[in-house]
Amino acid sequence: MSLIPAALANLPLTPSAVDRDADLRERSELFAELAADHSTRLLVLWRGRMLLDGDNLRLFPADSPTGESTLAYLGKTISDAASLPAGTRVVLVVATDEVATALEPDDEKWITFRSAAPLLSEPFSSLGIEAVALSNWHLSSGFCPRCGSATESESAGWARRCTQCNNQIFPRTDPAIIVLVLDDDDRLLLGSNILWPEGRYSLLAGFVEAGESLEQAVVREIHEESGLHVDTPQYLGSQAWPFPRSIMLGFSARVAPEQNPAGIQPDGLEIVDLRWLSRDDLRAEAGTLLLPGSTSIARALIEHWLAADGGPSLDEAARAATTGPTPEPARPQTDQITDADSGTETQTTDPAETSGAGTAR
């Protein structure tokens, strides 16, 4: 079969509806100008959570209280959307407890972006993922990695500077690979992470190590987690996954000619079970397996492989196998793993929040 990057060109959570307007970031009066513009909107995050207004993010007027909150300029919307005209400039507010309480005192209304993501259309999806990435970075970068002194936000929230040694730091992203491993019979390899509930499976994944190419990471991670040697890694596409700061790089790879696919061996540390599944096998279990959620690159890779024979998707297979009320689509998980959701690497506090079976470090 042929796997091509174009098939993954429209992955969920791939920001495309916001012009980040980077030329304005060094304007010293930018936030004052934005606050004076009644068309400006504020996207407020509190402890990594946000508010919804129906199926959209709840945005606040420019004159809403921000107190001592950290601000970041997200950019301007590209096209018209419900209640948000093209060209609307949006500011992220990384809210203090006091500001969050003033804007919405009901804690239960503040939800994670992962929970909200399947509901969101553009440009709210693009705004949300950009906001979460920046918010996570600001919350974890309050002190200088060089001398330990406090840092302050600058460049419209896209940099921080140490108040003592003047060291400037920028948002960083941790690359993680996630791999569609296939054998000569075109079967798919799925793994289950030790921290996952029984029956949850995804693709293998893991973080790229220092001094390592993406292709080397594919070969190393698959061997570490399954004992298999793979070759011909092929890049398919990427997806931002800022939980807390990953980018998922999707690959396909084939089991090496000298390798017996039956020789799979879970590492026992992160991966506790491995399974080879044909397309028919996966469709038959679509209503029972816990598979990656619809917003993950893991799910997109699996669906792309599944569609090669022209058969039903996972959701269609799950519905066909179930009688009575319409089931939840293929029992997906909203989150990825390494947030390498299909991999078994886990770097987040909640391993179920990644897209891969591997544990992202």
pLDDT in tens, the chain (361 residues): 444 455 576 777 776 899 999 999 999 999 999 999 999 999 999 999 999 998 899 999 999 999 999 999 999 999 888 789 999 999 999 999 999 999 999 999 999 998 998 888 899 999 999 999 999 999 999 999 999 999 999 999 999 999 999 999 999 999 999 999 999 999 999 999 999 999 999 999 999 999 999 999 999 999 999 999 999 999 999 999 988 889 999 999 999 999 999 999 999 999 999 999 999 999 999 989 999 988 899 999 999 999 999 999 998 998 887 754 444 444 444 444 443 343 434 444 333 345 677 744 3
The SS3 call for residue 345 is strand
Query: At which of 140, 160, 193 does a domain end?
Result: 140
Give the model's pLDDT for residue 243: 86
155 in a structural domain: no
Residues 314, 201: one domain? yes
166 in a structural domain: no
Give the model's pLDDT for residue 232: 92
* Letter string b/e over residues 108-119, b meaning 16 or more CB atoms within 10 A of that residue's CB: eebebbbebbee
In 227-359, alpha helices (H): 279-284, 297-306, 314-320
Give the model's pLDDT for residue 6: 55
Give the model's pLDDT for residue 274: 98
Neighbouring CB atoms inside 10 A of 37's CB total: 12
Residues 293, 199: one domain? yes
Which residues, in sequence order, are CB contacts of 214 under 8 Å at separation 6+? 175, 177, 208, 233, 235, 249, 251
Do the beta carbons of residue 343 and residue 360 sit within 8 Å? yes
Which residue bears the tokens 């001592």? 68
In 184-248, alpha helices (H): 214-226
159 in a structural domain: no
Residues 12, 119: one domain? yes
Which residues, in sequence order, are CB contacts of 2 under 8 Å at separation 6+? none
**Interatomic CA distance for residues 360 and 316, integer angstroms:** 31
Residues 212, 75: one domain? no
Query: At which of 114, 140, 166 does a domain end?
Result: 140
Residues 117, 186: one domain? no
167 in a structural domain: no
71 in a structural domain: yes
CATH code (residue 220):
3.90.79.10
Structural domain harbouring 194: 174-358
Residues 288, 331: one domain? yes
156 in a structural domain: no
How many domains are there within the chain? 2
**Interatomic CA distance for residues 271 and 222, integer angstroms:** 11
Residues 185, 289: one domain? yes
Give the model's pLDDT for residue 323: 52
Residues 205, 298: one domain? yes
311 in a structural domain: yes
Give the model's pLDDT for residue 14: 76
Q: Which helix (H) or strand (E) holds 206?
A: strand 204-207
Question: What is this structure's pTM?
Answer: 0.85
Residues 108, 178: one domain? no
Residues 186, 75: one domain? no
Give the model's pLDDT for residue 7: 54
163 in a structural domain: no
Query: At which of 124, 140, 156 does a domain end?
Result: 140
Residues 196, 107: one domain? no
Residues 215, 320: one domain? yes
